[in-house]
Chains A and B, each alone.
Chain A
Amino acid sequence: MIELHRVWKVFSVGPVKVPALSDVSFRVAKGEFVTLHGASGSGKTTLLRLLYREELPTEGQVDVLDVDVRSLRGSEVAELRRSIGVVFQDAKLLPGRTVYENVAFVLRVLGTPRREITPRVFDALRAVGLSSRAQAYPAQLSQGEAQRAALARAIARKPLILLADEPTGSLDETMAAEVIDIVKDIWAGGTTVLFATHQAILATALRQRTLTLMSGRLIKDEG
């Protein structure tokens, strides 16, 4: 489902070349839950950005859903992204829209038939336990609720892959545990999950296969 082969990503800062990823290779099978662990700046976000083709590798090959992302052009990138859900540390909810509208927005822009939108939004909100907060605006939500709304937005499209970039990074333990439970439920539904975190305890607690990155290098693949 996902395969990286000898991937390098080097950013140029003026004349200076900064390697964000160095010779990274791994495979993720369909339906697998993989924790991506590493300190801030270890290359987790860059790696995820390669997967949804926000960045291109400097060297090496990145295959997602059996497609080499380097070969994708315009509409093909959009097509790939329709199969991938992404959540970030900051929920990136649209402030002028309610929770319901935030989730419905992505369905609308993807051309989902109108009659399907409401049931799908409420299915997603139920899955994250936010049905009762559908009419709340992001400013009225706690951080945990905002993160759950972001998850609802990601899963409403029924993606094949969920990329979670530090979704618990700014949450307290209780809220983080709630989010993790939801992500595990999504995984149990058959979605492949890549869960990035800088928290070693969390990576251990997840008890899943863990890829550990350090300064852009994959130093451990265990579990």
Chain B
Amino acid sequence: MLGFLIGEALRDLRRAGRVAVAAILLITLSLAALGGFWLVSTNVGQAAARWRDRVRIIVYLKREPPPAEAQALVERVQAMAGVATVRYVSKGEALGTLKQVLGKDASVAEQLPTNPLPASLEVTLTADGATPDGARGLIAQLSALNEAEDIGGGIDWIERLARGKRLLEIIGLGVGAVLALAAILTVTTATTLVLHLRRQELEIMRLVGAPEVVVRLPLLLQGMLQGLLGAVMAIWVLIAAYALAGPRLEPLVSQTLGLERLAFLTPQTVVALMFAGTMLGGCGGWLARGRTDR
């Protein structure tokens, strides 16, 4: 029976002709757009993870503590939530670094009567700590330390990255949603057209007492088939775009995002896109199916 129903669905798909092709193309377009934004978001996410590793919060200390106190302070900060590593930088080490940075002008630093640079702690963040909320919470805790004079670094970058990623996701979802809606409507139209084409068959089916599932399932299957075909085509479009554009974009991506290679969608994402396509098509078929009652 299932073979017969699938056969009927394929027959309907052929009958829907250009409208079915239009529906498949729209599903391809919507899923390719969604997949494209997903691809960009994945790569930006990877870049963000790398940048996050480079983000540091600097805690400038009021005075240079003795070694034992410094060690205790490092341990206290290390125990705070969101902290990955803590490194104590003494006043002397800070001046040494400044001289290294100044290079041939290092003599300027030597002319200073006293070392003006404060001792500090360099704090790197865990993944949880590198979120805007996590970083804000950590900065509040660090500011509350009696030894802390001032806090510097990091949070702006983290917030900017998070905003950029969120914006990309919203644009991707928005474009995807609009195209998905258009795809559903087109599948509904294609399936409704088939309903008109096969109204004689439906009449006969009802007349002889065919079960409702036999009347309606081919319409649903037809929609799902359109969705699945659209999803497979969208994935091919993404693979082709990745293969063609990837090598050309990699130098640019390397310079701007710091990524050596552009990543493609994971197998799970590919399966999710195919599932989404099938569901989109099924949704259209389901909506049209309601019209068999009229």
Question: Are the C-beta atoms of A75 and B200 separated by less than 8 Å?
Answer: no
A81 to B204, CA, bound (A): 11
> Which A residues touch B215, using CB under 8 A?
109
A78 to B211, CA, bound (A): 7
Question: Are the C-beta atoms of B208 and A106 separated by less than 8 Å?
Answer: yes
A106 to B215, CA, bound (A): 12
Q: Does more than half of chain B's interface fall in helix, strand or loop, or is it mixed?
A: helix
A105 to B4, CA, bound (A): 10
**Is the CB of B68 closer than 8 A to any CB of chain A?**
no
> Which B residues touch A78, using CB under 8 A?
206, 209-212
> Which chain B residue lies CB-closest to A102?
B204
Say how far B15's CB is from chain A's closest CB, in angstroms: 9
Question: Are the C-beta atoms of B204 and A92 separated by less than 8 Å?
Answer: yes
Q: Mark A59-94, 1 if CB is under 8 A from B, else 0.
A: 000000000000000110111111110100000101
Say how far B217's CB is from chain A's closest CB, in angstroms: 11
A92-B203, A92-B204, A106-B204 as given contacts; A81 in contact with B4, CB under 8 Å: no
Segment 184-221 of B: residues with Cβ below 8 Å from A: 200-201, 203-212, 214-215
Cβ 8 A contact of B201, one of A74, A80, A84, A94:
A94
A219 to B262, CA, bound (A): 87
Say how far A152's CB is from chain B's closest CB, in angstroms: 13
> Which A residues touch B1, using CB under 8 A?
108, 111
Interface residues on B, range: 10 to 19
Question: Are the C-beta atoms of A110 and B209 separated by less than 8 Å?
Answer: yes
A105 to B5, CA, bound (A): 11
**Is the CB of A52 closer than 8 A to any CB of chain B?**
yes
**Is the CB of A148 closer than 8 A to any CB of chain B?**
no
Segment 79-126 of A: residues with Cβ below 8 Å from B: 79-84, 86, 92, 94-95, 105-106, 108-111
A83 to B207, CA, bound (A): 11
Say how far A103's CB is from chain B's closest CB, in angstroms: 11
Interface residues on A, range: 20 to 34
Q: Mark B93-108, 1 if CB is under 8 A from A, else 0.
A: 0000000000000000
A69 to B78, CA, bound (A): 80
**Is the CB of A37 closer than 8 A to any CB of chain B?**
no
Question: Are the C-beta atoms of B209 and A79 separated by less than 8 Å?
Answer: yes
Say how far B199's CB is from chain A's closest CB, in angstroms: 11
Question: Are the C-beta atoms of B212 and A74 separated by less than 8 Å?
Answer: yes
Say how far A93's CB is from chain B's closest CB, in angstroms: 9
Cβ 8 A contact of B208, one of A75, A94, A110:
A110
> Which B residues touch A52, using CB under 8 A?
207
Question: Are the C-beta atoms of A82 and B4 separated by less than 8 Å?
Answer: no
Say how far A24's CB is from chain B's closest CB, in angstroms: 23
Would you mind naming 27 contact pairs between A and B with Cβ atoms under 8 Å apart? A52-B207, A77-B209, A78-B210, A78-B211, A79-B209, A80-B209, A81-B207, A81-B209, A82-B208, A83-B209, A84-B209, A92-B203, A94-B200, A94-B201, A94-B204, A95-B200, A105-B204, A106-B205, A106-B210, A108-B1, A109-B4, A109-B208, A109-B210, A109-B215, A110-B208, A110-B210, A111-B211
